[in-house]
Amino acid sequence: MNINTSLELNTIAALAGKRDHLCVNQGDVIFQHGELGDKLYAIVSGEVQLNWGDHGVEIIGAGSSFGVGALVDPEHRRFGTAVALCNSELLEMNREEFLFAMQELPMFSLEMMDDLEQRLQRLKEQIAHR
């Protein structure tokens, strides 16, 4: 986990307050492509597989966040399917908390963009090597 990802997770944890973690079991579908989404998730422990259809598969672990696309998409649709690869703990952030963090915590915005850019680069490399 790099420092930016750790800071992003800390920000999400702080904004999530004292909420319980969402515990998911291996094989649980967290969300599916095309569904409406009103939360993003940060992985506290465990791993999640993101299936992007023809665009590849991504495996992310503790410190990474996912699901932000539905918060910024005008129709709030999920772009991929997220499945727990093992028993995992997740933090949730709703749209209002996300927008607050983006507006009031500039470092959170930079951390999230950095994380998304790194993940996009890995997906591009994965697709190029097919």
Whether residue 125 is contained in a domain is answered as no
Contact by Cβ (8 Å): 130, 77: no
Q: What is the pLDDT of residues 115-129, one digit of tens each?
A: 778 877 887 787 777
Whether residue 39 is contained in a domain is answered as yes
Average pLDDT over residues 36-48: 92
Q: Which domain holds residue 46?
A: 3-120
Average pLDDT over residues 82-107: 89
Q: What is the pLDDT of residues 51-69, one digit of tens each?
A: 988 878 899 998 888 999 8
The CATH number that applies at residue 47 is 2.60.120.10
Average pLDDT over residues 82-86: 98
Whether residue 129 is contained in a domain is answered as no
Average pLDDT over residues 11-39: 85
- Domains contained in the chain, number: 1
Whether residue 18 is contained in a domain is answered as yes
Whether residue 128 is contained in a domain is answered as no
